Structure 1
Amino acid sequence: MAISAATLLNIWETGTTQAPVVRVLTLLTPLFPETPVAELPIGMRDSLLLLVREWLLGTQMDCVAVCPGCATRVEFVVATTALRALAPTITEQQLTIGEQQLAFRLPASIDLLALPRDSAATRHLIERCLIEAPMTLSDEILTAVVTAMTEADPLLDLRIALNCPDCGHTWVAPFDVAGFVWQELDRWVRRLLRDVHSLARAYGWKESAILALSPQRRALYLQMVNDERSVG
């Protein structure tokens, strides 16, 4: 799917001042207008984010983490296709704890937006997502449901195993799909705006005209502008 530069620029401009969950919905809703994005389980939602990333930048994500053992910057690559394969396909789940049967649905963005900002956020989230549950929710039941949710939707709390090439330390690092994709979009937009600035100065074109150019034509014009500067 081709996404216009102007569309992405407008999405970015709106999303820069929004909370992370709202920002994700701002990005995805206009690109998938027939999909109830806010009601999708987080893994399904993030699978769409990764698909947008593929359209924009390809499937290979170059990542960096800091080793907790020696503070070395560790570079690693994550494939969007591998992460999208982790997305759940079933929204409602069943869980047996002892003799008790529970049914729950996987958390969605709409649930995260409804949570109060207090220490009981996890309990509130579980209560929202339970379909069938006992009258009393013990800590044991809550822990079991949280575990079952993350097993059913690995993207809900994604962790990546890493190894430091310098000190040999191994650890599991959290990976925020939504945050990572937005950071990449932010860098992409800033590069685009620098290109617009260069072409506007060189040719006197309006932003709308520059954004309407295909990426290939923009790149060629930029190359000619840079060539002239290097000669001068």
Structure 2
Amino acid sequence: MAISAATLLDIWEAGAAQPPLARVLALLAPLFPEIAVAELPVGARDGLLLLVREWLFGAQMECVAVCPACATRLEFSLATTALRALAPATVVQSLDVGGQQLAFRLPASADLLGLPPGPAATRRLIERCLIDAPAMLSDEALAAVATAMANADPLLDLRIELACPDCSHSWAAPFDVAGFVWQELERWARRLLRDVHTLARAYGWRESEILALSPQRRALYLQMVNDERSAG
């Protein structure tokens, strides 16, 4: 899917001042108008985010983590295609807890938006996603449902297994798909606006004219501007 630079800048600008979850929906909604993105399971939503990332920047994501034991900086790569394969195909799940059959649906963005702040948020989320559940459930039953949710939707709380090459410490590092993709979009937008500024000053073009250029042609004009500055 081709997304124009102007459209993407508009999406970025609209989401920049919003909270993280709202900005994710602001990014996806105009690109998938036929889908109720807020109602998708978190993993399915993040699968769409990863697809958008492929359209914009390719399938290979270069990531950085810091070893919690010795503070060594680790660089590693993730493939969007591999992560997208983790997105759940079934929304409604069930499990047996002490002979009691419990059905639940996987959490969606709309569920997260409706949560009150505080330590009770996780319990409220699980209760919100239970289907025809008894009025009272034990902490053990709720914990079992939480585990089943995480197993059914690995992207709900994605962890990447890492090992430090310096101290050999191993850990499961949390990876925030939505935060990572938005951070990349943020860097792209700011870099593009700097390029627009440079070309507007050099040629007197309007922003719309510069954004209408292909990335290749824009890069060639920038190179010529930079060459002239270096020669001067």
The TM-score range, normalised by the shorter chain, is over 0.9
Task: Name the structure 2 match of 1:159.
Answer: 159
Q: Secondary structure in 2 aligned to 1:171?
A: strand
Contact 1:40–1:108 (Cα < 8 Å) also in 2? yes
Q: Secondary structure in 1 aligned to 2:71?
A: coil
Matched residue count: 232
- Following TM superposition, by how much is the alpha carbon of 1:142 offset from its aligned partner in structure 2, in angstroms? 0.7
Contact 1:101–1:133 (Cα < 8 Å) also in 2? no
Task: Name the structure 2 match of 1:131.
Answer: 131
Equivalents in 2 of 1:4, 1:173: separation in Å?
34
Task: Name the structure 2 match of 1:13.
Answer: 13
Contact 1:64–1:75 (Cα < 8 Å) also in 2? yes
Q: Secondary structure in 1 aligned to 2:33?
A: coil
Gaps of 5+ in 2: none
Task: Name the structure 1 match of 2:100.
Answer: 100
AA of the residue aligned to 1:70:
C
Task: Name the structure 2 match of 1:22.
Answer: 22
Task: Name the structure 2 match of 1:38.
Answer: 38
- Following TM superposition, by how much is the alpha carbon of 1:104 offset from its aligned partner in structure 2, in angstroms? 0.5
Matched, 1:116 2:116: yes
Matched, 1:70 2:70: yes
Equivalents in 2 of 1:89, 1:51: separation in Å?
16
Contact 1:46–1:178 (Cα < 8 Å) also in 2? yes
- Following TM superposition, by how much is the alpha carbon of 1:103 offset from its aligned partner in structure 2, in angstroms? 0.6
1:139-196 CA-partner distances (Å, limit 9, x unpaired): 1011000000000000000000001111111111000000010000000101101110
- Following TM superposition, by how much is the alpha carbon of 1:81 offset from its aligned partner in structure 2, in angstroms? 0.5
Equivalents in 1 of 2:34, 2:135: separation in Å?
37
Matched, 1:83 2:98: no
* TM-score normalised per structure 1: 0.98
Contact 1:198–1:222 (Cα < 8 Å) also in 2? yes
Task: Name the structure 2 match of 1:228.
Answer: 228
Q: Secondary structure in 2 aligned to 1:69?
A: coil
Contact 1:87–1:154 (Cα < 8 Å) also in 2? yes
Q: Secondary structure in 2 aligned to 1:62?
A: strand
Task: Name the structure 2 match of 1:146.
Answer: 146
Contact 1:64–1:74 (Cα < 8 Å) also in 2? yes
Equivalents in 2 of 1:106, 1:87: separation in Å?
11
* TM-score normalised per structure 2: 0.98
Equivalents in 1 of 2:25, 2:219: separation in Å?
30
Gaps of 5+ in 1: none
- Following TM superposition, by how much is the alpha carbon of 1:134 offset from its aligned partner in structure 2, in angstroms? 2.4
1:21-73 CA-partner distances (Å, limit 9, x unpaired): 11100000000000110000000000000011011100111111110111011
CA RMSD of aligned residues (A): 0.8
AA of the residue aligned to 1:5:
A
- Following TM superposition, by how much is the alpha carbon of 1:220 offset from its aligned partner in structure 2, in angstroms? 1.2
- Following TM superposition, by how much is the alpha carbon of 1:132 offset from its aligned partner in structure 2, in angstroms? 2.6
Equivalents in 2 of 1:194, 1:165: separation in Å?
37
Contact 1:115–1:124 (Cα < 8 Å) also in 2? yes
Equivalents in 2 of 1:90, 1:70: separation in Å?
41
Equivalents in 2 of 1:209, 1:227: separation in Å?
22
Equivalents in 2 of 1:96, 1:84: separation in Å?
28
Point out 4+ residue stretches in structure 1 off by more than 6 angstroms. Answer: none
- Following TM superposition, by how much is the alpha carbon of 1:110 offset from its aligned partner in structure 2, in angstroms? 0.3
- Following TM superposition, by how much is the alpha carbon of 1:227 offset from its aligned partner in structure 2, in angstroms? 1.5
